[in-house]
Amino acid sequence: MALLLVLPGVVPNRPGRLGSLLESFLPWLGLAVVPLLAAAVLRRSAAASAALLLPVAAWAYAFGGLLLPAPEPGARDLVVVQHNVSDVNPDPAGTARVLAAAGPDLVALEELVPTALPAYERALAREFPFHEVRGTVGLWSKYPLSGTRTVDIRPRGITEGWSRGLRTVVRSPHGDVAAYVAHLPSVRVGARGLASARRDESAGLLAGAVAAEEVERVILLGDLNGTVDDRGLAPLTSRLNVPARGFALSFPASFPLARIDQVMARSATVGRTRTLPATGSDHLPVTARVTLDRAAGARDASPPPPA
């Protein structure tokens, strides 16, 4: 158990992407300590109780940092909110009010459908005068946006209209930031394991676009349908910083088991991540404070050629 917590990569991804499946719920593996401790107590075994220090230490090493207090807010912080609002959300306006109440500078939304988009635009217009929408994803901002374009993250085999990625430049008071909003394909857990091939392919396409980004500071917001421990998102997590504090389990909203709604950054630090109150979506909104590096942001913010 301690080995799996510290080195989940020892579990192969074939067959059934079992490694990714384990990594998706890795923090929950710590719960196995409870029945093991009960067994040790019932047997009155000091050796068994002492052995449990191994998985406890392994869990603390892997996830204990997420429980530490968040650093004090800084002058170069941007507060961001990420939310898959659901294409069947019965209350778009109410959802928008919950997101705006968190006081963010940026709000990224996925599963925007044409019938609900006007409600979000009206509800967010006063706090966020600038916004861009491409396909079913959008970004609302307190600061001007420029150089917006669609990011093609469509996996092979999907022929119908499918637009789930955008890139824009936020002209923040602390310098330009390239903001990406993305919604990666869903995964399914079945008898054959985790079906995530399309998600993994889309993650690779998104990582390629981020790698080609000429603006030094980058913030990625999106429903990535994977946790930061899942090796399927390694093309992104190997290039971007992930949250340093907070679990912020976001899905499913009724009983959150994993954070698949992500905030990542380059030349910036993602601080404590937390969830907001439930909306009409099957996801919980996620908010984080992103601290921009002082030395970054000096490059030209003109949009790069499409990847």
Residue 303: predicted pLDDT: 46
**What is the architecture, at CATH level 2, of domain 77-292?**
4-Layer Sandwich (3.60)
pLDDT band at residue 14, thresholds of 50, 70 and 90?
confident
Model pLDDT for residues 115-157, shown as the tens digit of each residue: 999 999 999 999 999 999 999 999 999 999 999 999 999 999 8
Domain boundaries, the chain: 2-67, 77-292
Counting beta carbons within 10 angstroms of the beta carbon of residue 306, is it exposed (0 to 12), middle (13 to 18) or buried (19 or more)?
Answer: exposed
pLDDT band at residue 73, thresholds of 50, 70 and 90?
confident
Residue 298: predicted pLDDT: 47
